[in-house]
Chain A
């Protein structure tokens, strides 16, 4: 890979680690990393709490908790409304936001490790383009070709279509790149561009056929939002995301080894092909599930692991859990901005992450420009 993450290497270690590293071996950042993970854990709890207590409505989480503990003191109808806002709107939204942010960030970190490129992203394995295609098929053809599916699954038809679109594209790509039991990461990268273009073209044809309402639906889906979060949705995608997040820590050692090259990882005793199988399917499932319920939320997968690598280093044993915590917290904050900045209306969250992530990504590129050898 020509894009090397050397810029981050030139930075001195951040000062918060100095005290912690004092008694340790030079070059060993694991103590710092553990401290950062603990910090991020509390940050995640805090962001969940803040998210539940703030919003466009004046519903107070404290009042709701107090009412639950000591019985209602005020207007019964008002407290019932507040309870619904807190428990059925804000809370599932915060939890879903956290899970999606975590899965996008972890998927990004895994892909970057696997492709040995700090600029890789789950989009590279066709999840995003496939999911878009699935979504637009369901939106545009819900009244005609896809009517039976839509009738059967109802409001779940769209996320399901997006999920399978993403998963099918990834598996297809994976098959193309695998010959004789060996997956070529380079082939996968290039074929991903080709398949992405193809999916875009099909999406374009469907958009061409779409009417105004369908266009609007698709546009908003593609900008991403977690506004529709419900406990039902959490039950639908939660298990997929949690299962992927649970498997990923077992890949950490292998991903570390693979940064030295696939051959070197094999020399060090890593079953490289099995690692690639698990990582790619896991990422496709986690990203597919996230994209399905939230639409296109960009940059979390690139920005979060990149920031963390600058602070705690690229060791995946720490990078993966830290990415989950930071990704989740950031998405909750982005969602808070999305739903309060133009209250009572809402901005799509994808706009927030892109407005912040785009310039950040450019800044990374500019810092690395001197090192880019293309």
Chain B
């Protein structure tokens, strides 16, 4: 039940700060429209932009852990008998739900990319976005938990997350990439998330294969979830809060 409470809290907060939705969806949307119309190929950049939306949302909600733990609701969680794992689960469930909702909002623009989705396919696409939301939220959590200040997080955003997104097939396909970039793309878990979307949306550049994309994305998500739980259960000998 503590997990459900935390989940509900995230949604309530989000609902009361609706301008956040605009902020998160707007920048990938503008980005996508500019590159898409500029290169006259909206379809090619669609999945990448959708993943960017989910990533922004996931990262922004997990960043709040840093502040929340020093001055905020997380403090009382740390001294409550509720198990740490349920805290982690609640936070990740909440943040992932928000990321998912924003991904779905972005999905409404799919017709611009020439994608038409039948009702049954919509379920599959929504499920894929949900899986990606979980994975990226887990990534955000693992990074944010150990961080002392939000300023460090911005450096990680610019030096790790954005480059990671750039070499994930979001901007250029794997097939035409140079050797070492191609190698990075192979080991980049995000490559598989974008391929997964391309598969479910029937968009081009859907490499690696559908099954590999699904398995790698899910496995990456599970590893991050487990790591989050482990990290949060460790006892502090320093001022964690």
Do A and B interact with each other, yes or no? no
Binding site for A on B (CB under 8 A): none
